[in-house]
Amino acid sequence: MANQDEDAVGEFVERFAGELVDAGMTRMPARVFAAILASDTGVLGSAELAERLRISPAAVSGAVRYLTHVGLVSREREPGSRRERYRVRNDQWYATFARRDQLLVRWEETLRAGVKAVGPDTPAGQRLGENIEFFEFLQEELAGMMERWRARRQRSAEAHEG
């Protein structure tokens, strides 16, 4: 953090972690994710995280376990060491939302089975059917949004090269 104001970065980490908590993430994984995201390299080790966040190595371990499970960080070995580092990709949100598409498909399939189980003409079947329509809509919109994002990033990359 040579060129960064450590206090300002710490305030950002806590503020963004709070926003993630408000969205449903548990506190420690939110803090760890925000700290890695705010690091220059996008990569931090357990000791660095524990020091920056003033938390125990066990708290780091639990948070990283959750974050890797949900695909927000990846683990890698430090070259020539047994120590692990944790990485946030620059396109992290894109990758996360791309995986959500697969989740929507699974939910749709389960909801279709639910409609079959309760009957399509029952109030429950109609309610489940409306949920299916919503997820179909989300998938269509998400696909278009992701394509527009790829095009925007490409234009941005070309502008920075030229």
pLDDT of residue 97: 79
pTM attached to this predicted model? 0.77
Better-predicted residue by pLDDT, 12 or 160: 12
pLDDT tens-digit series, residues 123-136: 999 999 999 999 99
- In DSSP terms, which residues pair with 43 in a beta bridge? 87
Amino acid at 127: R
pLDDT tens-digit series, residues 47-65: 999 999 999 999 999 999 9
